[in-house]
Amino acid sequence: MKTKITEKFRTLFGEDGEFFASAGRINLIGEHTDYNGGYVFPGAVDKGIMAEIKLNGTDKVRVYSLDMDEYVEFGLNEEDAPSQSWARYIFGVCRETIKRGGKIAGFNTVFAGDVPLGAGMSSSAALESTYAFALNYLFDCHIDKFELARIGQSTEHNYCGVKCGIMDQFASVFGKAGNLIRLDCKTMDYKYFPFHPEGYKLVLVDSVVKHELASSAYNKRRESCERAAAAIRKNHPEVEFLRDARMEWLEEVKDVISGEDYMRAEYVIEEVQRVLDVCDALERDDYETVGRKMYETHYGMSRLYEVSCEELDFLNDLAKECGVTGSRVMGGGFGGCTINLVKNELYDSFIAKAKQAFSEKFGHEPKIYDVVISDGARKLQ
């Protein structure tokens, strides 16, 4: 990937720049909890975005996407926003950095990525974090790592129309090889947990399906959670987010909120606790409990939060049949991957069965990605 970027950069701009990279992410458990002030448990992976960048002495950004085979040029004022959705991520990062006092000027850049698109591994956060980190470094903005993650999140909110939580960008910026990170999305406290599961592999099975509706459905679920939290807050003023609520407090407002809002809130309150249970289990090397909690999350996402789909439920059922320790839909839902915790001795038979059975039912094979927990945003030597 680096060689191709260098070749294109030289062809377009006639010189060499500096290299930066950031990572996609997995999330072991804690889905749809981040915007509810809860805990998430992500790690950066060995797939991500790489960019070559050099300041060009103008007020224009000249950017080429190798993957899209597309060149875009834009200015740095609000009215200069490019129409191409992929370029808006980079424009948004520039604008959000400027809003925080960073002095950004024109630069030339070529980037490429190997994060599977649509697999729920957050290629967009990897792109945002690569450029947030790089611009902070190149323009000496002195912005801390937390604010770099927020720059990515604000880019999604203000330039890409997705009201995402902070998890994806946090994992891309703070990722550390061999560690998962428990992040409290309310206080922003975080803790690294070494993750070297002896005798197990983490593997993603990508359905290669992305159902439409994902972003509108995401925003609807967020609104459901906010309504449920507001109803509970009337009885318990200390409840700022659903993460502060208890199941018995949700029961108190069961007749006041819709059945749908109740189900969404039930899932979130249970999921916040599951993250803590999984962290406790990992400290005891108790992977059976970790796996059980993953299955519980899938059930909740499928039946209560209703963000799974036929393909993902099929893969989850198949994992159970094959004796896989833990399996669940990963990411926002409506397609993408299941994340699976598989005993080494079951790995080959599970993958073979998943490919064969899925292909027979849906007409195409799923893609398989072994997970390697790696470093987040960084400058490459």
CB distance 326 to 340 below 8 Å? yes
> Which position among 34, 168, 206, 244 bears the catalytic label?
168
Q: C-alpha dihedral over 51, 28, 326, 356, to 10 degrees? A: -20
Q: How many CA atoms lie within 13 A of 192 on its CB side?
A: 12
Q: List the 378-379 sheet strands across, edge first.
A: 70-74, 61-65, 107-113, 42-55, 18-27, 378-379
Dist. CA 341–CA 347, nearest whole Å: 9
Amino acid identity of 164? C
CB distance 358 to 309 below 8 Å? no
CB distance 299 to 313 below 8 Å? no
Residues contacting residue 60 through CB under 8 Å, at least 6 positions apart: 73, 74, 75, 106
Map tokens 């805990």 to a residue.
39
Q: Is 348 a catalytic residue?
A: no
Please name the residue ranges forming H helices in the chain.
2-13, 85-99, 123-138, 145-159, 167-174, 214-235, 247-252, 259-283, 287-299, 310-321, 344-362
CB distance 338 to 328 below 8 Å? yes
Q: What are phi and psi of 257, to 5 degrees?
A: -110, 165
Dist. CA 143–CA 148, nearest whole Å: 7
CB distance 51 to 35 below 8 Å? no
Classify burial at 151, counting beta carbons within 10 Å of its beta carbon; exposed 0-12, middle 13-18, buried 19 or more. buried
372 is written with which tokens? 């390697």
Dist. CA 21–CA 7, nearest whole Å: 17
Active site residues: 168
